[in-house]
Structure 1
Amino acid sequence: MEAVRHYPVAVIGAGPIGLTLVNLLGRFGIAVLLVERNPTTVQEPRAVSIDDESLRTMQAAGVVETVLGGVVAGYGSHYYTRRRTRFARVEPTGQPYGYPRRNAFRQPVLEGQLREALGRFPHVEARFGWKLLDYAQDEARVTLSLEGPDGARQDVTCDYLVGCDGAASRVREVQGVGLEGTTFDERWLILDLENNENTTKHTEVFCDRHRPCITLPGPDRTRRFEFKLLPGETDADLLAPEMVERLLRTHGADPRATLRRKVVYRFHARVAPRWSFGRVFLAGDAAHLTPPFAGQGMNSGIRDAQNLAWKMAAVLEGRLGPGLLDSYERERKDHIWQMVRLALRMGQVMAPRSWLHGALTQGAFLALNIWPPARDYVAQMRYKPPPRFHEGFLLPDGRGRASLIGRLLPQPRVRRPDGSEVLLDEVLGNRFALLARADDPAALANLNQPLWERLGAVRLVVTPGATDSPGTVSEPAGEAGNGFRAALAPYAGCALLLRPDHYVAASIPLVDSKSAVLAVEALLAATGKAAPVHAGILTTISENAPG
């Protein structure tokens, strides 16, 4: 009999979340099986907005330059009353994580890029046209029953299974778990245009209770229009060609554009009550559905992939115990609900409940424009909840809201000793790191405990001025440097312990580090006894090494 093949990780679903997860695991050297029931990646438009955090994840996956080639970077949103008076403008200029805050893309292009990038990894196997029939797990492994395009069946095993297979997830279905929570159920007509010449750089939001409309830019003369269905209307009413033509004509579409797709979507705000079941995990739409008004559905799933990838790699490499994976849901779930609430609030602005509600909301935004700090709060997207963990794999330091613990570290451009400038993560790599901002290039010399070797932590000192010392970089001038300095100012005399996803896990005093080191040791011990390195794990590839 043919031996059953084993993989450290199996990922079900080759959408943007599954493909991102596999690319990240591939860079960590983890052998992965990717299973997708469709014969290819999606060919029609779906998600259209990718944010700065997701682009930073593409950087971690080693594909950001390719992805940026198909992106319209740095667009904003303009909000209009029913009479087409602009009452709010969102055009963020800052790049705290190294990339513009809002960017337009085409999902078929992104998925094609991510699929092609898998060719870098001889340890990744992708099976398109295969579907998951069933699976079962025990203490040692998960056994999957798969069916190929010719109907042939095959069993494989894995250490961990991740369901990235969408809202109708088969992985979640086998567990008998549905999506629960607050439901925001509305129908919107989605129209995707190609060869659209009559376009603007920004999203336009027409906040009209009679017929709310959103029109979003895209690369290569594409544009999306979204119209809310009203009570009593059927899908067929708005899908009728004459209605489609009228709606597009009244909202500035190019009459010569090609209609690529028209579909009615139902949007929900729902979350699975559990995201993990022993060796089985859910990510992306399989775990949560977010209304589209904040553009955070796919981006939230990419955050899931980033969170899971380094943890699975750390466990499979034997650096940390399997209890580390328990922190995945605890860290991600709160932020998901923050994104859901943000989307619901934005939906209320776009589709006011009544004439009075709309007038009061729009009047409030106009009033905010008078006061620069309030105007900038909106324009710079400071209303978007920043990524932050309050519990999980971290050690709170008692600094309250000013604390960097649990936060994603800002990513400025830095100057290497050879004079070249790169984004900070290119120096750190996707691994644990000890980072300090100090005048002394040898500031980390006293942190010589075996703990840091066990974690494989790289060391980096960021100096205010030019430096030619190994293990150092200098910070830039300008807004990015100012933001980085401000963020690290409370941590003078400390090193920050960074996780491989560039979130801050702990602060370590440089002078008397004993108690902090003991606390980090206890944090590691809480993940459980680390398993030996799995035979399917490869050495981390050189392109992921710090520069």
Structure 2
Amino acid sequence: MAGPARKFDFDVIQIGYGPVSKASALFLQRLGWSVGVFERWEEVYPLPRAVCIDHELYRVLHAAGLGNVAGRVCNDAPTYRWFNAEWKELLAIDWAAGSISGGSEVNFIHQPSFEWAMDARIKASDGIALNFHCEAVAFHQDDDGVTVTIRDTKTGTTRDYTARYLIGIDGANSFVRESLGIKRADLGFEADWLVIDFALNGGLTARDLGIPECGQYANPVRPTTIVPGGVEADGRVLRRWEFMRLPHETREEMVEEEKVWELLNAWIKPDQGELIRHALYTFRSLVADTFQKGRVFLAGDAAHVMPPFMGQGMCAGLRDVWNLAWKLDLVMRGKADPSLLDTYTPERAPHVTDVIRISMFLGSIICMPDPEEARKRDEMFLGGNAPKPAPFPILTDGMLERDGQGHVIAPAGELSCAGAVRFGGRTGRYDDFVAPGGFTLVLEEGVALSASAKETCRRFGITVVTVADRRSATDDQIGDTQGQFGRFMKAHGISAMLVRPDFYLFGGAADSARLDRMLADFARQTQAFGMNAEQRQAEPA
């Protein structure tokens, strides 16, 4: 006879309190779970680091109830331009042109404002216990849960806390990763860059300064990055400069204030604003061998670090915890077996590795201090023969549609589209009408479900929506206001797509017969993961 259920202090314990941990805590709390967060420092880190959130994570933040936060701290990115030493334009990427998520491809952000806004949400939440000056010194796990020993850094006293799961979101020097004995693969990139954040005097703009709004100055004499640094809560506009350390310079001299102003002098003067901070970073490319051991997971910089040339460091960490949250939710509710969590590493590790490799590729072009190599690079770009980076990665493993041999079937693993739509006489974000959190079957107008497809959707609680041209959509159809869905489905040759809770496609189908096969494979996989059938089917809200 089974004994009483074990009681835990928290459902999930998180070590670390950076932006990824804050988002993770809010994701889990929104799903109804208690979270204990332990941070060895005493306050939110007040200085900027990350400056970008891409369209996918901007959508995620809205879907997770953080839309007001994202809207306040994000600004659409300007065109991203690369210049050579003579200021000839090598490359221009119009990030504001749009994305499959319906908005700008990239948003610039003031990270401290982003974190303070999430911190305020967390402190107002009954479901999240936030503990500062608390350092994790040990942990162990068994078949039921995890026990973490926490030391108070002020008093030196220790106490044990228990949870069903533990997530190490504790940075590149992760205690959790090191304690698990998880090694990291070095993908081979290393470069030192001085990062400087500068607050401009009121009204001063990049145009006034005669600098690119957003760009790379690929001058071999001094490769330099110039980008927006976001907007502070009081309205002050920040600019960021990043200067590559050259072989003859020491790390020590790069952080001396005299050196900082020597480098800034060509771009801005002391009386034009305030130097907020400067720090030397060693950009590296490292990926943990696994992101999970039993009930313990790694996320963010604890799992991977990358060069900044795609602005994807924080984004990658947010993808980690968005991927993990819906799986933990199903498992902790008893609606899926713990084996579902084993898809976390296969889905996230290859994806982030590909992102890192693209960032390394861009870095290899930018970080080019040799004049002859830079000349050859310029000739390729100006002559239209520039090498192209790989397309942005998709999922290649995990819970995705497969054929009889176990191979993933395209377009499974693609990020789905979203954007502004019309439903029930109102216009808004797609995710405002089709609430995220479950699986959604999106059909083009005119696609009919077979009896077996209807039964699968009923059994597994799949939300079914029909998308139609905005000019002909009925009140119970999603009006494709921006044409996002039509373009996406046409590009992939499908008329139906099954979207996972994290917005990636389980699979897509061109016709009813193909749709039946896709849903049959979905039923097979969900049953293999112990995902309960007979769930109530949701409806557009």
Q: Could you say if the C-alpha distance between residues 452 and 39 of structure 1 is closer, same or farther in structure 2, counting changes exceeding 3 Å?
A: farther
Summarize the Cα distance change of 1:215–1:152 in structure 2 as closer, same or farther, 3 Å threshold: same
Question: 1:33–1:124: 8 Å Cα contact kept in structure 2?
Answer: yes
Deviation at 1:4, TM superposition (A): 7.3
Cα deviation for residue 156 of structure 1 reads: 1.6
Out of 62-71 and 155-164, give the one that drifted further: 62-71
Deviation at 1:469, TM superposition (A): 4.2
TM-score scaled by length of structure 1: 0.87
The match for 1:416 among 423, 437, 442 is: 423
Q: Distance in 2 between matches of 1:72 and 1:39?
A: 30
Equivalence for 2:322: 306
8 Å contact from structure 1 (residues 428, 546) kept in 2 = yes
TM-score (norm 2): 0.88
2:76 is matched with which residue? 73
Contact 1:4/1:155 (CA < 8 Å) preserved in 2? Answer: no
TM superposition shift of 1:246: 2.1
The residue aligned with 2:505 is 504
Q: Secondary structure at the match of 1:368?
A: coil
CA contact (8 A) 2:226 2:242 kept: yes
Residue type of the alignment partner of 1:31: S
Superposed counterparts of 1:19-418, under 5 Å: 19-92=22-95, 93-119=97-123, 121-148=125-152, 149-196=154-201, 197-200=204-207, 202-218=213-229, 219=231, 220-252=236-268, 255-352=271-368, 354-368=370-384, 383=389, 385-396=391-402, 403-417=410-424
Between the aligned partners of 1:423 and 1:387, the Cα distance in structure 2 is 24
SS of the equivalent of 1:356 reads: helix
Instruction: Give the whole-Å Cα distance in 1 for the aligned partners of 2:62 and 2:506.
Output: 21
2:536 maps to 1:520: no
Q: 2:435 aligns with which of 429, 436, 447?
A: 429
Does the residue aligned with 2:297 lie in a helix, a strand or coil? Answer: strand
How far does the alpha carbon of each residue in 1:381-411 deviate from its partner, in whole angstroms, 9 at most, with x for none?
xx4633411211011369x999321111111
Shift of 1:101: 1.2
The one-character-per-residue Cα deviations of 1:184-216 (angstroms, maximum 9, x if unpaired) are 222111111112525257322111222111111
1:125–1:385 distance in 2 versus 1, CA, 3 Å: farther
Amino acid at match of 2:165: Y
Asked if the contact 1:71/1:104 (under 8 Å) is kept, the reply is: yes
> What is the CA-CA distance between 1:292 and the residue it aligns to?
0.9
Of 246-255 and 29-38, the range deviating more from structure 2: 246-255
Q: 1:387 to 1:180 in 2, by over 3 A?
A: closer
C-alpha change, 1:529 and 1:432, in structure 2 (3 Å) is: closer
Task: State how far apart, in whole Å, the 1-side matches of 2:414 and 2:514 are.
Answer: 24
* Identity %, equivalent residues: 28
C-alpha spacing 1:36/1:85, structure 2 compared with 1 (3 Å): same
Q: Note the residue ranges of structure 1 that are not aligned, 5 or more in a row.
A: 534-538
Q: Alpha carbons of 1:236 and 1:55: their partners in 2 closer, same or farther (altered >3 Å)?
A: same
SS in 1 for 2:399: coil
- Which secondary structure does the structure 1 equivalent of 2:421 belong to? strand
**CA displacement, residues 451-485 of structure 1 (integer Å, 9 cap, x when unaligned):** 53554322211122443444x2111255x355335
Closer, same or farther: CA 66–512 of 1 in aligned 2, 3 Å: closer
Instruction: Give CA deviations for 1:131-160 in whole Å, capped at 9, x if unaligned.
Output: 211100011111111123543322121111
CA distance in structure 1 between the partners assigned to 2:39 and 2:461 by the alignment: 34
CA distance in 1, matches of 2:314, 2:256: 29
- When residues 256 and 515 of structure 1 are mapped into structure 2, their CA distance, relative to the original with a 3 A threshold, is closer
Separation in 1 of the partners of 2:281 and 2:514? Answer: 58
CA distance in 1, matches of 2:128, 2:205: 43
Distance 1:526 1:481 in 2: 31
Q: Which residue of 1 aligns with 2:10?
A: 7
**Aligned length in residues:** 517
Matched with 2:3 is: none
The answer to whether the 8 Å contact 1:404/1:487 transfers is: no
CA–CA distance in structure 1, aligned partners of residues 47 and 192 of structure 2: 19
The AA in structure 1 aligned to 2:188 is: T
1:502 counterpart letter in structure 2: F
What's the secondary structure of 2:114's corresponding residue?
helix
Shift of 1:119: 4.9
C-alpha distance in 2, partners of 1:240/1:180? 33
Q: Which amino acid aligns with 1:132?
A: A
Quote the Cα distance in structure 2 between the aligned partners of 1:512 and 1:393: 18
3-state SS of the aligned residue for 2:186? coil
Please, which moves more after superposition, 295-304 or 124-133? 124-133
What is the match of residue 536 of structure 1? none
Answer whether contact 1:387 1:408 (CA < 8 A) is retained: no
The 1:514/1:487 distance shift into structure 2, 3 A limit, reads closer
Distance in 1 (CA, whole Å) between partners of 2:255 and 2:282 is 14
User: Cα deviations across residues 318-337 of structure 1 (Å, max 9, x unaligned)?
Assistant: 22211111111101111212
Deviation at 1:97, TM superposition (A): 1.1
From the superposition, tell whether residues 225 and 10 of structure 1 become closer, same or farther in structure 2 (CA, over 3 Å).
same
**CA distance change for structure 1 residues 242 and 121 in 2, over 3 Å: closer, same or farther?**
closer
Rounded Cα–Cα distance in structure 1 between residues aligned with 2:64 and 2:432: 11
Q: Is the 8 A contact 1:186 1:268 kept in 2?
A: yes
- Give distance in 1, aligned partners of 2:127 and 2:459: 25
Kept in 2, the 8 Å contact 1:146–1:154? The answer is yes
User: Where does the alignment leave 5 or more consecutive residues of structure 2 unmatched?
Assistant: 1-5
Between 251-260 and 49-58, report the one with greater CA deviation: 251-260
Residue 98 of structure 2 aligns to which amino acid in structure 1?
A: G
Query: In the alignment, residue 147 of structure 1 is paired with which amino acid?
Result: R
- Whether the 8 Å contact between 1:393 and 1:523 is mirrored in structure 2 is yes
Is residue 44–residue 108 contact of structure 1 (8 Å, CA) maintained in 2? yes
Contact 2:28 2:325 in 1 (8 A): yes
Letter in structure 1 aligned against 2:219 = D
Higher RCO (CA < 8 A, seq sep 6+): 1
Distance 1:499 1:309 in 2: 13
Question: In structure 2, how many angstroms separate the alpha carbons of the residues matched to 1:78 and 1:389?
Answer: 29
Return the alpha-carbon distance in structure 2 between the equivalents of residues 421 and 445 of structure 1: 31
- When the two chains are superposed, the root-mean-square deviation of aligned CA atoms in Å is 2.9
Letter in 1 for 2:83: Y
Contact in 1 for aligned 2:147/2:160 (Cα 8 Å): yes
Residue pair 2:246, 2:369 contacting (<8 A) in 1 also: no
Query: Using the alignment, how far apart are the partners of 1:327 and 1:159 within structure 2?
Result: 18
